[in-house]
Amino acid sequence: MEIDALARCFGTASCLVTQLTSGLIIGMLLFLIASGVTLIFGVLNIINFAHGSLYMAGAYAAWTLYQVTGSYFLSAAGAAAVVGILGVLFERLLMSRVYGSNVLMQLLVCYAVVLICDDLVKILWGPSYLSMGMPKEFRLPPYRIFGGVVPPFYLFMIVTAMAIGIVLWLVITRTRFGKIVRAAAINGPMVSALGIRVNLYYAAVFGLGSALAGVAGALAAPVRSLTPGMGFSILIESFIVTVIGGMGSIGGAFLASIILGMTRAFGSVGFPLFVDGVMFLMMALVLIFKPSGLFGRAQG
């Protein structure tokens, strides 16, 4: 155990700043993915086990677009658009066919899609690690905050993710689109009876959730290595986020993502072997004492 290392880290401002930023970027990536999972679950009442593959698709799309265009901002926006479209196609062509049936069928469709995506990535981009490197827009000297070193890209990631979170929250709570989506989450057939084409909204929500995963992939591309299968481990963590935060709650996902990000960042200093264990313990405690999650609606 390196608990004393953790105590020392809390004692020095530079270590604290470094770990805080790293916790925030992990948390923000998790938030973007988990908010998509939770949004799709809240409205369509299905768990998208293939959400990690959309994140992977976002990262690879951003990598290729960056090679072609040379502009990181263009490639990130392009990745979000591409993955959003992929998500709509996935929903319309595959998932919509198994809405009525049991969880088993939905699970198998997602499983099949994950397998196909992983193999397609191997075919298109090769099985080995890819790395994007720091985009040229962000090859700037790092900021120094209280002696801690913060690369400008990290700041960009955090600000972008937070801005997306706020916009998402505003869209869900303040617009007509959000109102219909919230209504469809509670009673889809009734919304349909009011003359609103609910299927269109389902596809839009799925596309929106997918685009969020695409943005997460694009933001992760410069700081993570790209491999086929990269989506699965982050999918598990985003599930833990949605359980802790409460299914269907964007605010809960935000809070839980930051908690988990901080656990990862400081845990890697203090108890590297038990980081996963601690995250699962938190999840188990939430499930035992507040099964609906911190901010969740009650689930049966």
Which residues here bind another protein, judged by CB under 8 A?
41, 45-47, 49, 94, 97-98, 101-105, 107-109, 111-116, 118-120, 122-123, 232-233, 236, 239-240, 243, 247, 273, 276-277, 280, 283-284, 287-288, 291, 299-300
Residue located via tokens 């990631």? 157
Cβ pair 76, 219 in contact under 8 A: yes
| Shortest Å distance, C-beta 157 to another protein | 25
180 or 286: CB nearest another protein: 286
Tokens of 1: 């155990």
18 or 242: CB nearest another protein: 242
Q: How far apart are CA 201 and CA 292, in angstroms?
A: 25
Nearest to 95 by CA among 183, 233, 179, 207: 207
Give 249: exposed, middle or buried? Use CB within 10 Å, 0-12, 13-18, 19+. buried
Helices and strands in the chain: count of H runs, count of E runs: 12, 2
Q: How many C-beta atoms lie closer than 10 Å to residue 266's C-beta?
A: 20
Residue located via tokens 């992983």? 118
72 or 202: CB nearest another protein: 202
| Shortest Å distance, C-beta 212 to another protein | 19
195 or 300: CB nearest another protein: 300
Give 140: exposed, middle or buried? Use CB within 10 Å, 0-12, 13-18, 19+. exposed
Q: Which long-range contacts (CB under 8 A, 24 or more apart) does 175-184 make?
A: 177/201, 177/204, 181/43, 181/205, 184/43
| Shortest Å distance, C-beta 111 to another protein | 4
Cβ pair 39, 178 in contact under 8 A: no
| Shortest Å distance, C-beta 1 to another protein | 15
186 or 236: CB nearest another protein: 236
| Shortest Å distance, C-beta 98 to another protein | 7
193 or 236: CB nearest another protein: 236
Cβ pair 223, 161 in contact under 8 A: no
69 or 233: CB nearest another protein: 233
